[in-house]
Chains A and B, each alone.
Chain A
Amino acid sequence: MLDKNKIGHEFPSFDVEIEKGRLRFFAKAIGETNPIYTDESAARSVGYKAIPAPPTFMFSVDLEGPELLPVLDLLDLDIGRILHGSQEFEYLGQIYAGDRITQQSKIVDIFDKKGGALEFVVQESTYTNQNEELVGRAQQTLVYRN
């Protein structure tokens, strides 16, 4: 069973520079053709201050930390038994190309189902820009198959 004492654990926060080229590559990879996601003048013409990061890009911010999936070490998880159960994003502002985003993440719940055959780890993350505006929140549930 996973260590429920880790509920409340906060991971070290880290900063990520949101690069314009990276956002263009992301747009290409998901087949996005709306020019606001690749062309700064197109983005500005409809009221964005720069190229906006697409809605799911917050998850890619998570992956830019010093350690890929720090939850693996903390809870001694085998990556081959992890599934992404669910994902939620809340938009309080917008992440733009050129921003420096501070990501802070913590474990908010660990529980099990089916007599412990499946365990669930719920993490919440916040995303704050260089002006100290909270621009987004995310909640991610990992499923662990015992």
Chain B
Amino acid sequence: MSDISVGTEIPALELPPISRGTLALYAGASGDHNPVHIDSDVAKQAGMPDVFAQGMLSMAYLARMLTNWQPQAKLRKFSNRFAAITHLQDVITCSGKVVELIEQNGEVLARCEIQAAKATGEQTLVGEALVAI
């Protein structure tokens, strides 16, 4: 039997401060070569104070939180909206909790509300995951 129920908290994942090196590595590994994330000259031309994090980097962090908690094979659906930009040196923490148990295609799924947020509490990603239990 699963001990997952409404109110169960997903163990939070706190990331190291966002660095230029992290952004460069993610650009190469993900294939997102948009220069606003890796070249501060381009970022400034676009009106930003400096390079800033790829939204999908934080979504990958949310995915890490989910697969640290439950095996990836149990993940059915995963979505978020991008609510705020993540800047250099921001410390992002991913968290979430089970808000509902639903049945779909003969399986019980935990519907989880998930988020990524800065140390100030400002949410950067807000989303939802469906995980089989």
Shortest B124–chain A CB gap in Å is 12
- Give the chain B neighbours of A29 by CB distance below 8 A: 22, 25-26, 28-30
A26 within 8 A of B: yes
- Give the chain A neighbours of B61 by CB distance below 8 A: 30-31
User: Which residue of B15, B68, B73, B82 is within 8 Å of A86 (Cβ)?
Assistant: B82
Tier of interface size on chain B: 35 or more
Chain A residues 66-117 with CB under 8 Å of chain B are 68, 79-80, 83-91, 94
Query: Most chain-A Cβ atoms within 10 A of its Cβ — which of B26, B30, B73?
Result: B30
Inter-chain contact A80/B46, CB cutoff 8 Å:
yes
B101 within 8 A of A: no
- Give the chain B neighbours of A90 by CB distance below 8 A: 76-77
Q: Is the interface of B mostly helix, strand, loop or mixed?
A: helix
B56 within 8 A of A: yes
Chain A residues 25-68 with CB under 8 Å of chain B are 25-26, 28-32, 34, 46-48, 52, 54-56, 59-60, 63-64, 68
- Give the chain B neighbours of A4 by CB distance below 8 A: none
* Nearest A residue to B16, CB-CB: A31
Cα–Cα distance between A64 and B93 once the two chains are bound (Å): 30
Inter-chain contact B73/A89, CB cutoff 8 Å:
no
Tier of interface size on chain A: 20 to 34
A9 within 8 A of B: no
Chain B residues 22-46 with CB under 8 Å of chain A are 22, 25-26, 28-34, 46
* Nearest B residue to A52, CB-CB: B72
Chain B residues 57-111 with CB under 8 Å of chain A are 57, 59-61, 63-64, 66-68, 71-73, 75-82
Partner-B contacts on A (CB < 8 A): 22, 25-26, 28-32, 34, 46-48, 52, 54-56, 59-60, 63-64, 68, 79-80, 83-91, 94, 139
